[in-house]
Amino acid sequence: MGKLKKVSLILEDGTEYQGESFGAEASISGEVVFNTGMVGYYESLTDPSYKGQILVLTYPLIGNYGVPGERREGHFASHFESDRIHASALVVSDYSFSHNHWNAVKSLSDWLKEQKIPALHRIDTRALTKRLREKGTMLGKIVFDTDVEFYDPNKENLIEKVSIGSPAVYNEKGKNKIVVIDCGVKYNILRSLIDRDCSVIRVPCNYNFLEQAFDGVVISNGPGDPKMCRETIAIIKKCFKKKIPIFGICLGNQLMALAAGANTYKLKYGHRSQNQPCLRVGTKRCYITSQNHGYAVETKSLPRDWEPWFENVNDNTNEGIRHKRLPFMSVQFHPEHRPGPVDSEFLFDTFLELIKK
């Protein structure tokens, strides 16, 4: 290992954190967010919901189990949530330059360099996270030889950058035909449907699929401000009118709320981890969930035909909504997990039950 280049993460308020580079040496700017999960760095990095963001991992030791190979099972890479890294950069406290795992084929550093993703370690991630919690999520930049302007990814429609280019069909002879509106879908959402013998029709975020034959719609996770996704919201409104069974996940929860006439807002620093407790409203049943979102539904703005379904135990924010009469349901967390606990995976079965009614 040669001498590492010293470089800084600079926040928009002027705060600077100096560290060392172990990824690609390229200047980058984006929204700085933190994830408090203990594992799952390669799943998180390939999650399209991190598009435009500089990801800070609070767990102190990162890289010790390396990165698995890109083996494919069916249509999808076995261990990743998309075919490439979507986070703009990675910031950690202590990077392990040696890794050991039966499934690893390369180091995290080599993988980041291959995909031209900058990464810093020896950053005081505890101090950085405390600042983001106190001041709120901020823009930041990592500067090598060329300076860059601060970039706010939430000012553009990011889902157009991560959505599939044209429709694709998986498990064509499956029992139920499910359209997945791809706003940056994680592969494990598609796997979860295929495992339940669904034929999955994956369509672009602005694609008009309403003339096709299908049984239900899943609205996927994705990056950015949901209010930027006007074309997708318009499509969801048309689905409401046809009373089509719908299941929204993460960004899908926010888009459904907006289509119903409710409001969304930006959280101070978001929820990103695999240990978020969510209570089913009206019960004492709590689920531990995997989450990655910076916006939330304003519960009080829900129209009278809608009701809150889940809420976050930590801050009482909305974690799901459903229609009181029609087959529309959504959750803010990730029932497909990957990484994270499997407590809420049953919600895919709940959705498919709506189709049978």
Which residues are identified as catalytic? 250, 334, 336
Q: Burial level of 144, CB count in 10 A (0-12/13-18/19+)?
A: middle
H-only helix segments in 20-157: 41-45, 108-114, 125-135
* Type of residue numbered 201: I
Could you tell me which residues come within 8 angstroms of residue 262 by beta carbon, excluding any fewer than 6 positions away? 297, 298, 301, 302, 303, 306, 321
**Residues across the chain:** 357
* Type of residue numbered 186: K
Could you tell me which residues come within 8 angstroms of residue 50 by beta carbon, excluding any fewer than 6 positions away? 33, 44, 86, 87, 88, 223, 292
* Dihedral-angle region of residue 111 (phi above 0 means left; psi in -120 to 50 means alpha; beta otherwise): alpha
- Residue 66 and residue 107 in contact, taking contact as beta carbons nearer than 8 Å: yes
